[in-house]
Structure 1
Amino acid sequence: MTDPQLQDMSAARKEELKRIQSKDAKTGRKLTGFWKWLVSIMGLCMVVFYFYAAGVRPVGDQYHRGVYVFLTYIMIFLSFPFWRRSNQTRPTVVDILLALVAAGVVGYWIFEFENLNYRTGMETQLDIWVFVVGIIISLEVCRRVLGWSITMGGLLFLVYGYFGPYFPSAIAHRGFDIDRLAPYIYLTQDGVFGVMASVLVTYVILFIFFGAFLQKSGVGRFFIDWPLALAGRAVGGPAKVCVIASAFFGSVSGSAIANTVTTGAFTIPLMKRAGFRPHVAGAIEPAASIGGMFMPPIMGAGGFIMAELTNTPYVQIMLISIFPAILYFLSVFTMIHFEAKKLNIKGLDLDDMPSASAIFKKHWYKCLPLVVIVAMMLYGYSPGNAAFWATLSCIVISWFDPEFRMGPKQIWEALVAGAQSTLVIGATVGVIGIIVGTIALSGIGLKFSDIIISLSGGHLFPALVLIALASLVLGMGVPVTASYLIVAVLAVPALHEMGVGLIAGHMIVYWFSQNSNITPPVCVAAYAGAAIAGSDPWKTGWTAFKFSKLLYVMPFLFAYEPAMTLFIGWDEAVVGDSGWTEIASVYFAAAVGTVAFSAWSMFYLVRRTTTLEWIIFGGATFLCFQPNLLSDALGIGIVVLLGLWQHRKNKQEEAHKQTMGTTCPFPTAGQAVVGEKAGSA
């Protein structure tokens, strides 16, 4: 740990945090000498090639997808050992041989791309052998980086594709031999070089490079300092800083765990110092950090995959996602406020710190990279092109701050760090291709949809519960992006058959796919927060779930209220002033409902709620979330009346205290005793 905010952590807690981080972002060997330079130069080639393709001149499809897989596989074999106890400073002979084999099979796909497509269905024996070896190599790449959980998933789908007739009748199929299975998985657009590879090279890795430059240019520091000055003095200030900083940083980090560790290293100790219990401080940060996965402009890899699967411009996905993300952060923010009011936790003493306006006035230009991204995409430029120019803008703005000025050394470090960061998600390319390819070839997606519809009795609510459970279980063993893609392929068709729109169905699955980060038993982001806070991981996990419960509410709103996704009907886009008026009313009711939901969850609004008030808050929340103007109006009215009622009770109690303290003509019991003692003396 080199982060100065983590200096006070004990060695055991630092080691625990490293272990938890390694589940999300493994770093592999600490290469030295020639091998370190070789991998770094390959990373540099990757960054330069994809920046060139995004910002200067497009390249052919086989090079666009193939070069990334080619470089990623080689870098992983050189950087990640076969076993944990293998040499940790240089690759072994086996690693080098596997890297050469990987280069051969991926290079074969690149240079034989046109010929392979011409002879589809009539592959040569050499083609089949290359495809089989390529699939095995893809499994080994995934195993080295992400372990056996997701790798076993890929193996099980291969077994399912080959032995289809032997499975239960509900999911059985005719089965496919190697000559049919291997070409489909390795060659076609549904396989190893399919949707996952396409999304990664078109969008995701460019934004990972952008994130590396963003950190080096000092923007990450601004995302913490400004929220601290903005909200640090308020009730429960450090926790509110955590929410605002997570909204800023999480919108570009693409990882809930990275967000938790980066901002949590600063905010969690502050929360503990302000009076939050350790497990609460450790839980608030991951609960807030998960919101970054929903907040444009980047939203992690899932938003780009959604754009690809739904054939929707990414800028529209951003537009749809903004308000739900704001609702999520509003929920966490208000829950924190209510918790702080209950425990009487004050803000920080920041007399030595400049005001928020002074910090913004001095460093406002550090927001320009995000402005460049959003503005370019709104003007019709591709996300990749926007990321290219935003990355260049990071270098330019760094020159205005001597502390973070980027020279050749800093640019080199950002390039290498960015390329290294892509390896973890790149390791999933092959296995995701195996899973998606097998699903497409066998037709299990449609059968799975039938299973969901059958188990739910054709009703939407139980179907959503089943999808939430599937996402949680799958997320225990695979990265959240992979979980989203797999569940989307299997479950969205079922939702569509029940009347849910395509984009709404994907938003439902995408939100549910994040639940494994903060829901026990496997909640890695919460465990990272617990490691920083020095709290009990299990207790921290359940507390993080308490603060992030809106994560489970929003998918139901997507399902039952089309206006949440900017549609007035599942097949009719919003057009005209009347449509936007309806959406505005739905959004306003949802915002009030979110505050009511937080009050209901935390048993507090203006004061602690009584049992009757708590029940009424629950009913008001339900009414606000109902897709009906009358119920919305009733729900909002009830919330307002309850707030006024609690405010009136506070005023009455305050007046009663003042009356008792200033007008009582008799001495208090304590005063009487003292007087008696004095008299007797």
Structure 2
Amino acid sequence: ASWLTPRKMRPRDILDALALGSRNMVTTGLLLVAVGLVVNVIAMTGVGNTLSLMIQQWAGGNLVIALTLVALASLVLGMGLPVTAAYIVLATLSAPALYNLIADAQLVELIAAGQALPDAVGAMLMLAAPDKLGLLGHSMSTDEARGIVEALRTIDPSLVTGLYDQVLDPALLLGILLSAHMIIFWLSQDSNVTPPVCLTAFAAAAIAGTPQIRTGFTSWKLAKGLYIMPVLFAYTPFLYGDWPAMLEIFFFTMVGLYAFAAAFQGHLERDHGIVARLLLTAVAICLMYPGQSFLHWGGLVVFFAFLAWDIVVSRRPANTRLPT
């Protein structure tokens, strides 16, 4: 390709490039030996399947714990498996658990809003939790609605999963299923940029001639959105809401990620200290916090005011003193 540019590579330049690539491959090859050990451990012990099964038991119905466990499992699996293979292993055993947890949250919202349930649900509650029977069909708190779902699950877990098809919209269920798989697929990529095994970062370091581990940690810092997006998939209708809702989530998320990156790097339009970085972090959390419009708009106003002030100050000429 260089022969099509004004600065063509001469035969000596090609030999120098081959020599440089060989020298860079020495360090990369040593790292691949260490990675190979991890690959063999994961493949021979079956720790990948074991971790996936443990996620369902340890989460205990808590979506935050489930997301944390999936992230840790994907990081371990990604050390020894390609992204697609790690996704397949996790999705096979963990996607149903994530699907049920997200669908439970939607079901709880409908019950809390007074959604009518099939008569069979009332009959089951009369046997297991008669004190909750009077709440059905009326507005209630989220905790009371969650208590009804847990009481039904105590009777028969399949009763709750059957309610998904009877109460929730099929398009909503499809979106929830897509969200569960996108969470796993998104997190399956974190091993590419997370030390100690981050082959993509190591390859980039070999090309750029920079230290491998430092490059790995830098890539990890720059890829923070990799860990934020799965939370949005789980707690917002980003993939299954109506168009206005999805566009609103997209807009506030993009601004929030920009604010978060500025806080993490300590630089917006100019360098900032710890106080400004903490403020930007709080603004980013407000912008991306699920389901709180007043936090979104408040964070947006504060961020743009901060950005405008930053632009004004950065363009202000530095004070200079004339020699006396």
TM bucket, shorter chain:
0.5 to 0.7
Shift of 1:6: 7.4
Partner of 2:172: none
| Per-residue Cα deviation, 1:138-184 (whole angstroms, up to 9, x for no partner) | xxxxxxxx967656655545xx9xxxxxxxxxxxxxxxxxxxxxxxx
1:13–1:534 contact (8 Å) kept in structure 2: no
Structure with the bigger RCO (C-alpha within 8 Å, sep 6+) is: 1
1-side partners of 2:42 and 2:268: how far apart? 46
Q: 1:598 aligns to what SS in structure 2? A: helix
The question of 1:580 aligning with 2:243 is answered yes
2-side partners of 1:152 and 1:598: how far apart? 36
Partner of 1:507: 182
Gap change, CA 1:19 and 1:607, over 3 Å in 2: closer
Amino acid at match of 1:633: W
Partner of 1:459: 62
Partner of 2:296: 632
1-side partners of 2:235 and 2:16: how far apart? 48
| Structure 2 residues not aligned, in runs of 5+ | 4-8, 104-175
1:495–1:505 contact (8 Å) kept in structure 2: yes
The question of 1:11 aligning with 2:23 is answered no
Partner of 1:621: 284
1:338-349 to structure 2, matched below 5 A, reads none
Q: Which moved more, 1:10-19 or 1:641-650?
A: 10-19
Partner of 1:487: 90
The question of 1:650 aligning with 2:253 is answered no
Shift of 1:482: 0.7
Shift of 1:481: 1.2
1-side partners of 2:96 and 2:182: how far apart? 13
1-side partners of 2:74 and 2:189: how far apart? 8
Partner of 1:534: 209
1:251-650 to structure 2, matched below 5 A, reads 448=53, 451-499=54-102, 501-562=176-237, 564-565=238-239, 567-568=240-241, 579-628=242-291, 629-650=293-314
Amino acid at match of 1:606: E
Q: How many residues align?
A: 240
2-side partners of 1:560 and 1:498: how far apart? 10
Shift of 1:454: 4.0
2:42–2:80 contact (8 Å) kept in structure 1: no
2-side partners of 1:492 and 1:469: how far apart? 15
Amino acid at match of 1:470: A
2:269–2:311 contact (8 Å) kept in structure 1: yes
Q: 1:498 aligns to what SS in structure 2? A: helix
Gap change, CA 1:645 and 1:463, over 3 Å in 2: same
1:452–1:466 contact (8 Å) kept in structure 2: yes
1:508–1:555 contact (8 Å) kept in structure 2: yes
2-side partners of 1:545 and 1:472: how far apart? 12
TM-score (norm 2): 0.64
Partner of 1:243: none
Question: Cα RMSD (Å) of the superposition?
Answer: 3.4
Q: 1:461 aligns to what SS in structure 2? A: helix
Gap change, CA 1:8 and 1:585, over 3 Å in 2: farther
Shift of 1:11: 2.7
Gap change, CA 1:650 and 1:22, over 3 Å in 2: closer
1:613–1:642 contact (8 Å) kept in structure 2: no
Amino acid at match of 1:610: G
Which consecutive segments of 4 or more residues in structure 1 shift more than 4 A?
Answer: 2-10, 18-24, 146-157
Amino acid at match of 1:553: I
Gap change, CA 1:489 and 1:611, over 3 Å in 2: same
Amino acid at match of 1:599: A
TM-score (norm 1): 0.32
